[in-house]
């Protein structure tokens, strides 16, 4: 498994590449990224020059080549024959963390979705009104209204609102049909 990222420690990298030229540093960075994705790099100056898009001289290649070691068995094919020891240690750590997280996730899912008797104890969305354990959940509904025209107090007996109020009272005293 090759993850699309790899751990990079800037301080370690800058210290270890401080004596490299700009071309060597760029090529080394490109080759590290290639090695992460392809489990190694070719042991060939011209092939690496093509991969890095740099014109690597023999002296450039000698500086970069010393950072890689020959792999016992190529993992990705005949072209990937060199690996970076630090990168392979980081790869092992990443794969171990990934495997641990995957196993923990699997165990957590099993614990959540498998009942004591091996029967599923709920559905993934908790049902219409239940949780993953099949238990009914209490529900509450809150309604908030905002009246933009709050009621107004009736005017005195002589005003229009007072007349409306008198009319309403009179209508209430009439027999209902």
pLDDT at 84: 95
Residue 172 has pLDDT above 90, yes or no: no
What's the chain's average pLDDT?
80
Determine which helix (DSSP H) or strand (DSSP E) holds 169, and give its type and residue range.
Answer: helix 160-173
pLDDT in tens, 48-68: 999 999 999 999 999 999 999
- Measured between alpha carbons, how far is 58 from 101 in angstroms, rounded to an integer? 44
Residues 54 and 27 sit within 8 Å (Cβ to Cβ) = yes
Distances (CA, A) of 85 to 73, 116, 149, 166: 14, 47, 76, 96
Residue 176 has pLDDT above 60, yes or no: no
pTM attached to this predicted model = 0.59
């Amino acid at each position: 498994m090759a993850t699309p990222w790899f751990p990079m420690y800037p301080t370690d990298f800058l210290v270890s590449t401080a004596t490299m030229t700009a071309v060597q540093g760029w090529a080394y960075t490109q080759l590290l990224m290639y090695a992460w994705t392809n489990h190694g790099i070719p042991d060939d100056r011209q092939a690496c020059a093509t991969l890095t898009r740099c014109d690597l001289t023999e002296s450039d290649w000698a500086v970069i080549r010393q950072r890689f070691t020959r792999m016992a068995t190529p993992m990705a094919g005949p072209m990937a024959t060199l690996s970076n020891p630090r990168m392979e240690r980081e790869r092992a750590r990443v794969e171990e963390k990934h495997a641990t997280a995957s196993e923990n996730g699997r165990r957590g899912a099993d614990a959540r979705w498998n009942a004591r008797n091996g029967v599923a104890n709920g559905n993934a969305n908790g049902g219409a009104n239940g949780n993953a354990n099949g238990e009914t959940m209490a529900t509450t509904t809150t309604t908030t209204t905002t009246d933009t025209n709050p009621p107004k107090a009736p005017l005195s007996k002589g005003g229009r609102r007072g007349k409306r109020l008198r009319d309403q009272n009179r209508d209430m005293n009439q027999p209902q049909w």
